[in-house]
Amino acid sequence: MIEAREISRESVNRILRLKVREDQAFLVASNPVTIAQAHYEPNSWLRGLWSGELPVGLIAMIDIPPATPEADKGFPTNVAYLWRLMIDADQQGKGYGREAMQLAFGQARIWGRSTLCLHVAEKAGSAIGFYRKFGLEPTNRVDDGERLLIGSVRR
């Protein structure tokens, strides 16, 4: 069972060191980049993923409220946005990604959102098949070369 824990002065270096495989590096920003950007991202939620005392990954989400005048036209509103998800190369394939999706849906429910969306690269090795297992389906929208996926928040 993994837990999403706030990143602290004591744990930050262990989370910073987690990496996806080299051939996956184009799929997701590195943890140092995500941690830096999260400081400037309003409504963001950033957590380290831990299996007991072992750090296994990182998750970051953004709460997107109902439409505001500044909202990007055509981008979904009133949704939870899964901004970053990575499981360390050595820890993949053990079910942690699946557990992380339950945590993402749980956070969406805490925000009161019933829809979750995210962007995903469509190149070889992409996580599209992973997300489809959780009911997140491709839309017609592409931003910066990445496909927008959307689906219902699961219980």
Ligand X SMILES: CC(C)(COP(=O)(O)OP(=O)(O)OC[C@H]1O[C@@H](n2cnc3c(N)ncnc32)[C@H](O)[C@@H]1OP(=O)(O)O)[C@@H](O)C(=O)NCCC(=O)NCCS
Residues contributing to the site for ligand X (CB under 6 A): 20, 24, 27-28, 85-87, 92-98, 120, 127, 129-130, 133
Nearer to ligand X, 4 or 86 (CB): 86
Burial annotation 56-79 (CB, 10 A radius, 16+ → b, else e): bbbbbbbbbeeeeeeeeeeebeeb
DSSP state of 127: S
Per DSSP, the residues of 59-117 read EEEEEE-S--TTSPTTS--SEEEEEEEEE-GGGTTSSHHHHHHHHHHHHHHHTT-SEEE
Query: Least Å distance between CB 131 and ligand X?
Result: 7
Nearer to ligand X, 66 or 93 (CB): 93
On whether the CB atoms of residues 15 and 52 are closer than 8 A, the answer is no
Query: Least Å distance between CB 45 and ligand X?
Result: 16
Query: Least Å distance between CB 152 and ligand X?
Result: 18
Nearer to ligand X, 112 or 125 (CB): 125
Query: Least Å distance between CB 49 and ligand X?
Result: 9
Nearer to ligand X, 7 or 60 (CB): 60
